[in-house]
Amino acid sequence: MTEYKVPKVWVWKEEDKTETGNQPVAGSRFDQQLPVGDEPFQVYSLGTPNGKKVAIMFEELKEAGITKAGYDLYKINIGDGDQFGSDFVKINPNSKIPAMVDYSEDKPIRVFESGSILLYLAEKFQKFLPTDLAGRTEVLNWVFWQTGAGPFVGGEFGHFFEYAPTKQEYPINRYAMETKRQLDLLDRQLADKDYITGDDYTIADMMIWPWYGALAHDDLYKNAGDFLNVKEYTNLVAWADRVGHRPAVKRAQAIDYKPIK
């Protein structure tokens, strides 16, 4: 493999352009009319780890008896470029799933980014987030940890391990090391706790489980569990099992996404 010669100014190659792939510009690419159902919350998402967080939260609210948290869940097919349509971009100008609109307020409120959606719902319904300052802060510590740490697992390790067109030792080693460091961190955190922040299940667990629980179960990238030796993180695996057995989590994993067209 020849070494890449870094140009003085990076220029995107026009031949790399696709209507469904990423481009170095934001904004909508085509007119779109997203469906709006009858429930107060309209969720536009996909069954990726980030998308699953929101489905889990809504199903947990349902399990907790919150009747005002009804939602319609629509599929945004990122492979088809649905995230670049005009209606979706109005909800999330960053063109990433998940995104949501709360129609239960006098004026509809858009919410995007998985952490923001879970925090919004937790505060609105006073569920899965402690109300005392210390407890709330500790949960948010881990919520924001996941939003910062997760891209190293998905965008970096996952990309170079599974999706990159060629296998390259340097990036795979770099991000495997960081991913294992994160797994070790969680394993230590869970050494004396049932859940991420203690005895209570919170939005911190819902944020972390779809990524790291899937990795602990070897369900994230093909052969990644063996490659990373995830079985050695016994506390993490036990937590992944514990969360995965929750009825709401099982429902969220199997839920059907409604088509948008």
Segment 55-66, tens digit of pLDDT: 999 999 999 999
- Amino acid 172: pLDDT: 97
C-alpha–C-alpha distance, residues 208 and 117, integer Å: 14
Q: Which residues on adjacent β-strands are paired with residue 258?
A: 74
Using one digit for the tens of pLDDT, what is the confidence trace for 120-144? 999 999 999 999 999 999 999 999 9
CA 33 to chain centre: 24
- pTM, two decimals, is 0.96
End-to-end CA distance of the chain: 44
Report the candidate in 55, 60, 28 with the shortest Cα–Cα distance to residue 41: 55
Q: Is residue 3 classed as helix, strand or coil in its secondary structure?
A: coil
240 CB-side CA count, 13 A: 21
- Amino acid 2: pLDDT: 76
3-state secondary structure 100-146: EEECCCCCCEEEECHHHHHHHHHHHHCCCCCCCHHHHHHHHHHHHHH
Contacts of 80 (CB under 8 A, 6+ apart): 20
Q: Which domains does the chain have, with CATH numbers?
A: 133-245 (1.20.1050.10)
131 dihedral zone (left: phi>0; alpha: psi -120 to 50; beta):
alpha
- Amino acid 42: pLDDT: 98
Residue 143's alpha-carbon distances to 114, 147, 202, 203, 231, in angstroms, are: 10, 7, 10, 7, 24
Report the candidate in 195, 193, 198 with the shortest Cα–Cα distance to residue 212: 195
Whether the Cβ atoms of residue 227 and residue 161 lie closer than 8 Å to each other: yes
Using one digit for the tens of pLDDT, what is the confidence trace for 202-255? 999 999 999 999 999 999 999 999 999 999 999 999 999 999 999 999 999 999
Whether the Cβ atoms of residue 130 and residue 190 lie closer than 8 Å to each other: no
**Where are the strands (E) in the chain, listed by range?**
41-45, 71-75, 99-102, 109-112
Using one digit for the tens of pLDDT, what is the confidence trace for 17-45? 887 888 999 999 999 999 999 999 999 99
